[in-house]
Amino acid sequence: MERADSSAVSSIVVSELAYAPPGADQLFFDVSFGVAPGEHAALVGANGVGKSTILRILSGELDADEGEFAIGGSMLRMTQDVGMSRPTDTLREMLLEVAPPLLRTSGLALVAAERALADGSDDGMRYAEALADWGDHGGYELEAKWAAAAQRSVKTPVEDVGTRLVGELSGGERKRLVLDLLLTSGADVLLLDEPDNYLDIPTRAWLEEQIRQCRSTILMVSHDRTLLERVATKIVVIEGSGCWVHGGSYASFPEARQKRQEQLGDELKRWNDEERRLFQHMKMMKQRAAQNFKNATKANAAETRWEKFVAAGPPPPPVPDQQIHVRLRGADAARRVVKLERVSVGDLFLPFSDEVHHGERVGLIGPNGTGKTHLLSALLGTDEPHDGTITFGPRTSVGMFTQINDRPEWTGRQCMEIVRDRVFDDEKSMKALARYGLRAQGRQEFQTLSGGQKARLEILCLELEGHNVLLLDEPTDNLDVDSSEALEQALDGFEGTVIAVSHDRTFLATFDRFVMITDDGEVYDLPDYELAMQALAAPDRIAGLRLAKQLNEL
C-alpha cells in the first residue's frame, strides 16, 4: 500500500483501497473516493463493513493490502474509544492522543521522564531535556489551549491536567473536551470516529454547530441520523465490499440509494439481455457458416464480439439490503409495572416519585452525569445504593441493555455459545444470529466483535430471554442505521414496557413521555417529545413550558 503525495491542501484522496484482517476474509476492496477541501463527509454502512478500519488506514495506524491515499496538509484523528479504555490515565495523557505528532512524541517523553524522576531512576537530566523539548515544540501554548478547552467542557475546575484523572470526568465530558480541541485546532484534515457517542443532546447540538463552523476537511463515522442530516455535505457509502458516493446531505441519501439500486438492477438486466442477444446472433451465424463457408468471416466476427462483451463483465448487481429482524415479543403484566417512591441515588438527583404502566415507552433524558444510568441500575435491582422504594408489579421480568456492552461474563466465549445458552439448540442459535446479521460471527469471540455487533448480540439475548420490561442504556449508540430502525420497529410491536436512556433524537421521537433530570438534580415529567426537546435546549424554562402545555390542553 502506498501513501501518495498530494498538492491539494486539506483534501483526502483514496484510490482502490483493499484490506483483509489477519486470518480473515477480505473486508473491502476497490474503495475509492475524494473529499474536497472544506467538505464534511460521512462514512456510512452496516456494522462491521470497515468504516473505522478505513480511518485507521488513513491515519497510518494500519497498512492497507492494496491501493493508495493522499492527505493534504496536517491531520488529526479521534478514535471511537478515546478516553474510555484507560480511566487511570491523566487528562494530559488522554489529550496527547489527539495532539499533533511532534507534540505527542515530546509530550509522552515528558510524561515518562517525570515518572523516572519520581521513582529515582533519573537524576533530573532526562527530565530537563524532555521539558526543553516540550517547550521548543510549542508544548506550553498547547497547555494553554487545554486549559481553555477544559474550562469550556468540564463542569468542575481542572487545576492540573497532569494530575487530574480521566476517570474523574464523565464519558461525555471526555468526548467534548477532545472534540473542542480538535475542532478548534486549525488542522487541515480531521478524522472523527463516532464523535457523538457519549454526548448528551445539548452537547450534540453544540457539536453540530462546531462542525458547521469548522473550516477543516472532515471525514467522520457516525450513526446519529439527526447529526448526519444537519452537518454532512457528502456521504461515502461502504457496502458490497466496495464504495460509492452520494454528493448531498444524509436527508436525501435514502432516496438516492433506492434510485441507485433500481439503476443497478436495470443496467444488469440490460447487460444480460445484450449478452443473450449477442450469443444467439453468434449461434445463428455459426449455423449459417456451417451451411455456407462464405458466412465464416461474419460468424467469427460475431463470436469475437460476444467474447469481448463477456470478458468485460457485467455491471455490479444491486447490493443486498441488510436484513435485521428483531422480534421483541414481551408478555402481559399488571397495569402498574413499577412504582418509585421518593427515589434518589446519592446526591445525583433529588427524591422523586413516579409510576410506569404496562406498555409505556419512557425516555430518561438530561445532561451527562445527572444519574440516568444509575437510576436504570437501581431499577434493575443491582447493588446500586439508593434511597426510597422501587416496587415492581406481578408478572414482570426485567432485562437490561448496557451502554458500553460491558459483559465480562461473555469474554472469551463465541457468539454461538452465548446464544445457545438461551435456545439450547445449535440450528436455532445459528438462525437467531442470522436474523441479526451475525451468522458470519457465530464462531467469533465476543470481545473481537465491533461495537455495533456487540450491541446487536446483546439485543438478541434480551429478545431470547423474553423479558416484558426492558431497561435500555443508549441502545443505538453503536448500531448502524438499519439496526436502529429494526430496533425501533420491534419496540413498536413489543408487548411490554420500555424505559430507556438515550441521546438519539430520532429514537426518542418514538417514545410516549419523558423523565428529565437536570444538572441541579431536579426531576421533571414531560408529556411529549416536542416539550422534552425544548426543555433540553433551555432547562431554565421547564416550568414555563409545562405550564404552557397544561394551559393549551384546557
The DSSP code sequence of 202-236 is HHHHHHHHHHHH--SEEEEE---HHHHHHH-SEEE
Cell 537530566 -> residue: 125
Q: Is 99 exposed, middle or buried (0-12, 13-18, 19+ CB in 10 A)?
A: buried
* Average pLDDT of the segment spanning 91-111: 92
pLDDT of residue 291: 86
Query: What would you measure as the largest C-alpha separation in the chain, in angstroms?
Result: 100
Q: What φ, ψ does residue 401 adopt, rounded to 5°? A: -100, 125
Least confident of 91-100, 321-330, 403-412, 490-499: 321-330
> Given the DSSP bridges, would you call strands 217-221 and 40-44 parallel, antiparallel or unpaired?
parallel
Q: Looking at the predicted structure, is the pLDDT value of residue 230 above 80? A: yes
CATH 3.40.50.300 applies to domain 336-410+455-550: yes
Is beta strand 189-193 parallel, antiparallel or unpaired with respect to 217-221?
parallel
- Write the single-letter amino acid at 54: I
The residue ranking higher by pLDDT, 329 or 288, is 288
Quick check: 95 and 52 in contact, CB under 8 A?
Answer: no
Question: What is the pLDDT, as a whole number, of residue 2?
Answer: 46
Q: What is the pLDDT of residues 373-414, one digit of tens each?
A: 899 999 998 777 889 999 998 888 888 888 665 678 888 999
Give residue 318's pLDDT: 77
Average pLDDT over residues 133-158: 91
Q: What is the pLDDT of residue 5?
A: 47
Assign 152 a pLDDT band (cuts: 50, 70, 90). Answer: very high
CATH numeric code, 1-85+188-248:
3.40.50.300
Sign (positive/negative) of CA torsion 293, 299, 300, 303?
negative
- C-alpha to C-alpha distance for 24 and 249, rounded to whole angstroms: 34
For residue 399, which amino acid is it?
G
The pLDDT of 212-216, averaged and rounded, is: 95
In this prediction, residues 487-495 reach a mean pLDDT of 81
For residue 494, name the pLDDT band (cuts at 50, 70, 90): confident
Per mean pLDDT, which range of 2-16, 153-167, 480-494 is the poorest? 2-16
Q: 437: which DSSP letter?
A: T
pLDDT given for residue 6 in this prediction:
45
Q: Is 11 exposed, middle or buried (0-12, 13-18, 19+ CB in 10 A)?
A: buried
State the cell numbers at 124.
533530573
CA nearest to 343, candidates 137, 202, 517: 517
- Strand 513-517 and strand 523-526: the pairing is antiparallel
Per the listing, cell 430507556 goes with 500
Residue, of 106 and 316, whose pLDDT is higher: 106
Q: Which of 210, 207, 198, 128 is nearest to 169 (CA)?
A: 198
For 390-419, b/e burial (b = at least 16 CB within 10 A) is eebbeebebbbbbbbbebeebeeebbbebb
Work out the pLDDT band at 331, boundaries 50, 70, 90.
low
Q: What is the model's pLDDT at position 117?
A: 86
Mean pLDDT of 423-439: 88
pLDDT band at 554 (very low <50, low <70, confident <90, very high): very low
**Which sequence spans correspond to the domains of the chain?**
1-85+188-248, 89-164, 255-312, 336-410+455-550
State mean pLDDT over 476-480.
82
pLDDT at 484 over 80: yes
Let me know how long the chain is.
554
Burial class (CB within 10 angstroms; exposed 0-12, middle 13-18, buried 19+) of 112: middle
With a cut of 70, say whether residue 542 has pLDDT above it: no
- What pLDDT, on the 0 to 100 scale, is given for residue 325? 64
Task: At 322, list the grid cell.
Answer: 441488510
Q: What is the pLDDT of residue 298?
A: 84
Q: What mean pLDDT do residues 51-72 have? A: 94
Span 227-255, mean pLDDT?
Answer: 91
Top mean-pLDDT range of 9-23, 210-224, 231-245? 210-224
Question: What's the pLDDT band for 107 if we cut at 50, 70, 90?
Answer: very high
pLDDT at 242 exceeding the cut of 90: no
**Mean pLDDT rounded to a whole number for the chain:** 87
**Given this model, what pLDDT does residue 7 score?**
46
Contact status, residue 206 vs residue 14, Cβ threshold 8 Å? no
Which helix H or strand E contains 66, and what residues bound it?
A: strand 66-71
Give the model's confidence band at 456: pLDDT under 50 very low, under 70 low, under 90 confident, else very high.
Answer: confident
Q: How confident is the model at residue 538 (pLDDT cuts 50, 70, 90)?
A: confident
Q: What is the mean pLDDT of residues 345-350?
A: 91
Query: Which has more confidence, 257 or 486?
Result: 257
Backbone angles phi, psi at 44, to 5 degrees: -125, 160
Q: Do domains 1-85+188-248 and 336-410+455-550 have the same CATH topology?
A: yes
Strands 234-239 and 387-392: unpaired
Cα 226 vs. chain centroid, distance in angstroms?
13
Residue 294 has pLDDT above 70, yes or no: yes
Q: How do beta strands 361-365 and 513-517 pair? A: parallel
Q: What contacts 24+ positions apart, CB below 8 Å, involve 381-385?
A: 384/345, 385/345, 385/346
509 contacts: CB under 8 Å, gap ≥ 6? 529
Mean pLDDT confidence for 148-175: 88
